[in-house]
Amino acid sequence: MKIGVFDSGVGGITVLSELRRRFPGLEYVYLGDTAHVPYGPKSPAQIERLSRDCARVLRGKGVEALVVACNTASSLALPAIREEMGAVPVFGVVQPGAQAALDAWSDGSPVLVLATRATVNSQAYGQSIRGGNASVTVIEQACPLLVPMIEEGWIDHPILHQTIREYVESHARAHSAGVALLGCTHYPWIQDAIQKALPGWKVINSAQAIAELLGKQGVVDRADRGRGKVEWIFTDPAAVPAFAKKWVQE
Ligand code: DGL
């Protein structure tokens, strides 16, 4: 079985890694739109158009299911992507991420969603989490500088640590504990740095959640013998940061 995985850049590799770990017998096509990353500051219409283009490429590759491994595209372009993919099932990361936050949540503490500006503006996470439990306090924090830094390869740079602190410090001061949901698939690359800035908080990500969901829903045929092979497509291959190349060369 061939699964398509799509992201604006190298963030979806965190989802792909989870999928390969859980379903090592499948075959994958990864599409990173590195020519147009970041999606987060773009308008909903631009995000929809770019997502459609990516979906068309993956449909042309004959994928039998598509994982939209980008929270921004999942928040703003799922109906458009489904339209492009026809009968091919399409799975976004927002619903499973929201469910994972609810599962990790304990009474009284807030859920802090860290995401791109477009994802936060769409309110997809807030609606999804509150739809599951209306009593949960959801704080949505846009972190627009993080994706460009990660794509630049600054995953352990002092500026990255300082920037994370700027985004989360007030929340860490206001609440000694809570659930921090990484609502952007780039952020698991810097999960340790985020955890350091939010001591006492449970930091979770939607990458694990979507892989779990596919398993539970019986979408994947585990008997397949694709050997975890990945076809890598980047719309600008020269823009792939060095830390991610290690995965791409495997
Ligand atoms: N990985 C994308 C996400 O999950 C990043 C979006 C961007 O390119 O800004 O939202």
Q: What is the mean pLDDT of residues 212-217?
A: 85
User: Residue 151 CA: which ligand 1 atom is closest?
Assistant: 8
Helices 206-216 and 13-22: angle between axes, nearest 10 degrees:
40
Task: State which of 8, 18, 94 you would mutate to test the pocket of ligand 1, scoring each by most atoms of that ligand within 8 A of its C-beta.
Answer: 8
The residues lining ligand 1, judged by C-beta closer than 6 Å to any ligand atom, are: 7-9, 11, 37-40, 70-72, 116, 119, 147, 184-186
**Helix (H, G, I), strand (E, B), or coil: what is residue 84?**
helix
Q: Which residues are catalytic?
A: 70, 184
Nearest CA to 54 out of 75, 80, 76 is that of 80
Q: Where are the alpha helices (DSSP H) in the chain?
A: 13-22, 44-60, 71-76, 78-85, 94-104, 117-122, 124-132, 146-151, 158-174, 191-197, 206-216, 242-248
Kindly indicate the confidence band of residue 250, based on its pLDDT and cuts at 50, 70 and 90: low
Provide CB contacts within 8 A for 169, sequence distance 6+: 197
**Helix (H, G, I), strand (E, B), or coil: what is residue 146?**
helix
User: Residue 147 CA: which ligand 1 atom is closest?
Assistant: 9
User: Residue 93 CA: which ligand 1 atom is closest?
Assistant: 4
pLDDT reported for residue 68: 98
pTM as predicted: 0.95
Cα 71 to ligand 1 centroid, rounded to whole Å: 6
Cα 242 to ligand 1 centroid, rounded to whole Å: 18
pLDDT reported for residue 195: 98
> What is the tens place of the pLDDT at every residue in 144-176?
999 999 999 999 999 999 999 999 999 999 999
pLDDT reported for residue 106: 85
pLDDT reported for residue 231: 96
Residue given tokens 């993080």 in the structure block: 146
Kindly indicate the confidence band of residue 104, based on its pLDDT and cuts at 50, 70 and 90: very high
Cα-based distances in Å from 35 to 4, 52, 205, 206: 19, 15, 25, 24
